[in-house]
Chain A
Amino acid sequence: MVDDATRKTLSNIPLLKTKCGPRDRTSWVDRLKEEYQALIVYVKNNKDNDNDWFRLESNKEGTRWFGKCWYIMDLKKYEFKIEFDIPVTYPTTAPEIAIPELDGKTAKMYRGGKICLTDHFKPLWARNVPKFGIAHAMALGLGPWLAVEIPDLIEKGLVKHSDEKDS
């Protein structure tokens, strides 16, 4: 199961109602609206708790999302680009968040840099369709993954800070 902090963050994110994929143009608007509202609350919460860790934006239709996330370790900020598409079966299927630059550096990743989420995530998500949205995916999926993988990668030297990369 997820840890307490995550659970707490999760509970602060409003749940969604509309069960509609991007195919249904009319309903999607509602869904996307809910998604954005949830995200705004989530980001606000994060900022309030001094836990701002990503930037995200989407295309106009809201089917493709991109942005960046960062992780701070040893007083250094490691930034990674993220991107994902809303699957057609969304929200039944969870979005697959990818960090392309880490592709091939860790085993917990599928080809194309899609992160390999924990076993808990999928059933959780399945149970909570259509309540969970992008914000939840970020909080439940990417957040824990980063917390686990990045320190490991940094330790292995696979990930380097931008300054070091330059040098």
Chain B
Amino acid sequence: MSDWTEIEKLQADFQRTQLSITTQKLSERNCIEILSKLQEMKLLDVLHSMDGKEYLTPKHLAREIRDELYVHGGRVNLVEIQQSLNVDFSHVEAKANEIVKSDRHLQMVCGQMIQSEYLDQLAEDINDTLQSLGQLTIAEISKNYDLPGDFIVPELISRFGKVIDGQIDEVNRDAIFTKSFIARHKARIRGVLSAVTRPMMLSAFITGHDLSLKLLFSIVDELIAEGRIKGQIVGGRSEKSTFLPAIHTQTQNQWIDSFYSQNNYIEYDAVARLGISEPQSYLKRRFGSSKHNMLFLNTLCVGEMLVDRVVASVDETLTDGEWFDITTLLPTSFSEDDCSQLLLHIRQTGKKDKTLVDFQIIAKVYVVNTKFVESCKKYFDGLMKTKANQEAKKASVFALTEDERKEFSNYNAGESSRKADKRDDRRKKAQEGSGSTKRDFGGSGVGSREVKTKGKDKKRLKWKKEQEEMVEKNPKSRQNQDEVLFMDVDEICDVLQKNLLDCPENLLEEIAEQLQKPLQQSFQTMLKSVFLLTTQQHKEKDKTTKETSEKSSSQSDATPSSGIRSRKQFEEEINTMWASARLSAEAIKVFPDNTDTPVSLTKHLLKTICTDLTNIIFLMTAHEFLPAIEIESEMSQEIRLKLLSRFPENVKTPLTQLHNSLNSKTLESFEESLDLASDRNACSFKLKSADKKKDRQFIHTHKISLLNKLETENDPAMALHLCCSIIFQNVTGYMIHTPGKCVPDILNHLSRTIDKEVHSVIQQYLEMIMKLTMEQNKSCKDESEIQSIQSRLSEGLPAIRKLATTKKKSTAS
């Protein structure tokens, strides 16, 4: 019963199946809990994979890592291991480090595990490439194999000769070469550097011959050390360095030596042209030894011989007592600076050794005996004398002023500001001027004023000129600026040139400059002595006392002309001038308001009579309050201001107003200010009120004086001016005070009231005068035309005079 046996078999099977062990299945959760429990209890050491599905023991991990390393051919990135093993990176890293530590065939580089077998393989690869290329840079290798150079280099070095057939540059470890490559290089370099005769930039060399910079230096060094090539590398180990062939240096030195031995000097420029940078230091190195006693100047250096030659000629010159131009002795390449430097050197050594007399160096290149300069002064003795005499005559004032000024500056040294000084000086000068030009204030206005303004102009001109000269000369020395200039440098130069015919101009200029100051000084002293002489002759104007006596005493015995007038005199003057101003102002009213004439007439009046009047008031006040100060009736605006600042307060205000009113356009403000000033509290003087009788008398005297003046006047324009004034007075009965430019206007005004023929005569005369002035002002003067006009004018002059007098008669009758 096979069937039943089968059944039995099945039964048995069934039992066996039932009795077999049941697979104990745990839920995932339970498993994890159990494992964590076990790990906690340190009974189990397992790692779990990233997805948490697998556990593995550290030992297994280590094996897996090794496997991975093997699979990847001896080099594997830890990240790759981590990815393929799916285990946390920290475990992989820790384990990998552990493995690397325990196995010396393994290395960890940049997060990669590398087996020494891999490195061997790598070295072989590199060797293959190297053999085919000849050279390989470490950077290239590093890039190709993605390994740091620092790691590769020692690995490669350890394999040189074994796996790699090549070598590395010992100094510059950034490339490896095969021996044949080096040999090729060496041969090429040897060839080029042997052939070269001039300095050669290595960069050009490298590019031109396709050489490796890395290898170049070691090879060149080697070759130089061997003595195969002669020369040196300058400029360190960079692209900029230059190869200097010995032959080139030799030739350079030869050239320099020969140039020097021939000429006994050498220019830095010439040396620099040879391609030597810093020629000076080079020459110092080359010739600096005691054998060559070189002198290093600005642009070149000089040998002893040349110096000696110069010294000899200098010596000669000094004994001759003349001058000489060193440039004639030296090659043209010597610049002026060099010459002067050389001369200074010679002078110094001469002084030290006492071999040479002291001499001067002028204009850098001229050696001049000091005596020679002194001797030049003699040319000026005569000139100085004549000039001093002239000067003393011409302006004795200045010399004196100078002394006085000095005294004054000593006196108030505290406030010796330049400005104050100047003003003071000017005031004094003006004061001196008053001594020379006598003025009569009592006289009628016009005539005396004429003289006065002329004097003023002249003075002003002179002063201005002097001032300009001073500024030109030297603004810094205050002492000199007010002195009378003897001669300026050009003049001195001219004189010298006349006397020393063969001297070059620049030498003379320098000498002139040197001489100017001493000459000026001696001139000053001479001038003083000459002036003293002249002043002593003028006893009545003895002002020499000023040099010795004090300021106050000088005031006490002041000159009679500018001496103090009594108060009465002052008041009289004031009144006279006031009357003149007042009456002139009345004349202005005759003119219609709508023309310019009254304005310009008023201005003229303010500028002349009113200003004089103000000045007299100031003068009076100054006498009263500031007796120590000497002033003159002719004051400028500045002097008035200066005086104002010193006046006491009660006087100051009205006088300031008065002073200001001079610049206004109307007479009224002046009148007001004058009233204020005359007040008892201020200057307290009496202004006489208008008196018809006296006025008439005054006008009459004015006319008479004008007539007198006309009689003697020969200048046509002036005569016409006078004539017009007289006619105007005749017609209107007012005295007019007018500037010359208003004459046509007045004439125009008169045309309505005087005879036509008289008017036409005058008009013609006026036109002629205008024509003359125009002619004279022209740039190209027609002399004959001028003369003809002048003759016609002088012909017409009597007629004009006659007109004035007849007119008077006609109206008088």
Contacts and interface: CB of A to CB of B under 8 A. Distances in A.
A57 B10 contact: no
Given A29-B4, A30-B3, A36-B10, A57 B22 contact: no
A58 interface: yes
B689 interface: no
Contacts of B14: 36, 39-40, 43, 56-57
B605 to A, nearest CB: 140
B471 interface: no
A26 B18 CA distance: 27
B11 A36 contact: yes
Contacts of B328: none
B15 interface: yes
B24 interface: yes
A43 B17 contact: yes
Contacts of B6: 29, 33
Contact of A33 (B7, B15, B22, B25): B7
A55 B10 CA distance: 15
B278 interface: no
Contacts of A44: 17
Interface stretch (A46-54, A87-95, A116-124, A144-152): A46-54
B22 A47 contact: yes
Contact of A36 (B7, B20, B21, B24): B7
A100 interface: no
Interface residues of A, number: 22
A56 B6 CA distance: 18
Given A29-B4, A52-B22, 10 more contacts: A29-B3, A33-B3, A36-B13, A39-B14, A40-B10, A40-B13, A40-B17, A47-B23, A49-B25, A50-B23
B549 to A, nearest CB: 146
B20 A47 contact: yes
Nearest to B26: A50
Nearest to A67: B18
A37 interface: yes
Interface in A56-74: 56-58, 60, 62
B25 A32 contact: no
A48 B8 CA distance: 24
Contacts of B10: 32-33, 36-37, 40
A38 B748 CA distance: 163
Nearest to A49: B25
B25 A43 contact: no
Contacts of A43: 14, 17-18
A29 B17 contact: no
15 contacts: A29-B6, A29-B7, A32-B7, A32-B10, A33-B6, A33-B7, A33-B10, A40-B10, A40-B14, A47-B21, A48-B23, A49-B25, A50-B25, A57-B14, A60-B8
Contacts of B22: 47, 50, 52
Contacts of A60: 4, 8
A58 B8 CA distance: 10
Contacts of A30: 3
Contacts of A26: 3
A57 B13 CA distance: 11
Interface string B654-675: 0000000000000000000000
A40 B22 CA distance: 14
A55 B25 contact: no
Interface of A: 26, 29-30, 32-33, 36-37, 39-40, 43-44, 47-50, 52, 55-58, 60, 62
Given A47-B23, A49-B25, A50-B23, A56 B7 contact: no
Interface centre among B7, B13, B20, B24 (most CB of A within 10 A): B7
Interface in B349-378: none
> How many residues of B sit at the interface, in one of the four size bands?
10 to 19
Contacts of B17: 40, 43-44, 47
Interface in B1-39: 3-4, 6-8, 10-11, 13-15, 17-18, 20-25
B653 to A, nearest CB: 129
A39 B21 CA distance: 17
A36 B24 CA distance: 24
Contacts of B3: 26, 29-30, 33
Given A50-B23, A50-B24, A56 B18 contact: yes
Contacts of B23: 47-48, 50
B7 A62 contact: yes
Nearest to A32: B7
A117 to B, nearest CB: 23
A37 B13 CA distance: 9
A36 B4 CA distance: 12
B15 A57 contact: yes
Contacts of B21: 47
Nearest to A42: B17
A74 B211 CA distance: 90
B300 to A, nearest CB: 113
Nearest to B15: A57
Contacts of A47: 17, 20-23
A55 B18 contact: yes
A44 B591 CA distance: 154
A40 B7 CA distance: 12
Contacts of A52: 18, 22
A36 B25 CA distance: 26
In the complex, the 3 A-B pairs of residues with the closest C-beta atoms, listed nearest first: A50-B25, A36-B10, A29-B3
B24 to A, nearest CB: 6
A17 B351 CA distance: 149
Contacts of A32: 7, 10
Contacts of A58: 11
Contacts of A37: 10
Contacts of B20: 47
A39 B14 CA distance: 7
B52 to A, nearest CB: 22
B651 to A, nearest CB: 135
A100 B92 CA distance: 62
B503 to A, nearest CB: 136
A43 B21 CA distance: 11
Interface in B214-249: none
A30 B3 CA distance: 8
Contacts of B4: 29, 60
A44 B17 CA distance: 7
A54 to B, nearest CB: 8
Nearest to A34: B10
B648 to A, nearest CB: 132
Nearest to A39: B14
A52 B24 CA distance: 10
Nearest to A50: B25
A164 B175 CA distance: 89
Nearest to B1: A29
Contacts of B25: 49-50
B196 to A, nearest CB: 93
Nearest to A48: B23
Nearest to B25: A50
A32 B507 CA distance: 153
A37 B11 CA distance: 9
Contacts of A49: 25
A60 B25 CA distance: 34
A51 to B, nearest CB: 9
Nearest to A41: B17
A43 B15 CA distance: 10
A114 to B, nearest CB: 23
Contacts of B24: 50
Nearest to B21: A47
Q: Which of B3, B13, B14, B23 has the most chain A CB atoms closer than 10 A to its own CB? A: B14
A50 B18 CA distance: 12
A97 B197 CA distance: 122
Most chain A beta carbons < 10 A, residue from B17, B24, B25: B17
Nearest to B6: A33
A37 B6 CA distance: 11
